[in-house]
Amino acid sequence: MTSGTTTQTVTVWSDIHCPWALVAVHRLRAAREAGGLDVVFDQRAWPLELVNSQSTPQHIVPAETAVLANHEPTIFSQYTGDWPSTFLPAFELVAAARRVHGVRAAEDVDYQLRLAFFRDSVNLSIRAGLERALSDAAEAYPGLDPSAILAEWDAGSVRADVLADYARSKDLPIQGSPQVFWPDGSTTHNPGMTDHEWVRGLPRIRSSDPDEPGRLLRAALSAATPATP
């Protein structure tokens, strides 16, 4: 992080079990680390099961995952666990982390939950799966208190935070998951991966730009940071 500056916030609206969102989040975090950028990614709940009033058909996500694994092989594996019945508990855990530790901790827990599902085949609809993901997050990001986060999750009121996000999202220009809102108020859907379509039941990526998330991030932060006299 750069000292003497104000941390900028980039807001990401997405579903935790959206593989396109994992690619975008992974690349944004990598760009932050590579550039030493002073930015936090504020992960906001956009559960597709609420947006579409139904769970995402199980055949869709594995097909997308298989294609995207060719672009980001380290974050995807074939899913071999019990398929989650809902992802609302995972969104609630992110909300609990935000209440206990703040936005950056919520971002880290959110990222670990995505990896737990897509890379490690963890069922995020049950407590045991959430506990495993949270334990891995605490190991990766010292300072997280899993017991405090789980206690906040157990309190039961964090569902209200998730539903508040969903209600707020209805007034935003969200095209789909992920939707990134930059500090200047502009927004980008699925950066670097928009040129794709479904053909005969499979997603076909016509072209991709893996550098676009980082390029957009650096441009947004540069525009938001006043020049030094």
- Per-residue pLDDT, 229: 34
CA distances 158 to 90, 95, 163, Å, are 11, 6, 9
Radius of gyration of the chain (CA): 17
Question: Which of 2, 15, 7, 3 is CA-nearest to residue 40?
Answer: 7
CA 143 vs. chain centroid, Å, equals 20
User: If you classify domain 9-220 with CATH, what class do you get?
Assistant: alpha beta
Residue 63: band (very low, low, confident or very high) from pLDDT cuts 50, 70, 90 = very high
pLDDT tens for each residue of 86-140: 999 999 999 999 999 999 999 999 999 999 999 999 999 999 999 999 999 999 9
Rounded mean pLDDT of 67-76?
Answer: 97
> What 3-state class would DSSP assign to 1?
coil
The whole-number pLDDT of residue 195 equals: 87
Asked if pLDDT for residue 2 goes beyond 60, the answer is no
Helix (H, G, I), strand (E, B) or coil at 197: strand
pLDDT at residue 110, rounded to an integer? 98
Q: What is the pLDDT of residue 42?
A: 98
Burial annotation 194-208 (CB, 10 A radius, 16+ → b, else e): bebeeeeeebeeeeb
> How confident is the model at residue 226, as a pLDDT?
52
pTM: 0.94
* Res. 3: pLDDT tops 50: no
pLDDT at 6: 87
Phi then psi dihedrals of residue 44, to 5 deg: -115, 145
Identify the pLDDT of residue 141.
96
In terms of Cα–Cα distance, which of 52, 43, 37, 120 is closest to 86?
52
Give 184-225 pLDDT, tens digit per residue: 899 999 999 998 888 988 889 999 999 999 999 999 998 876
| Per-residue pLDDT reduced to its tens digit, 30-60 | 999 999 999 999 999 999 999 999 988 889 9
Residue with the bigger pLDDT between 184 and 158: it is 158
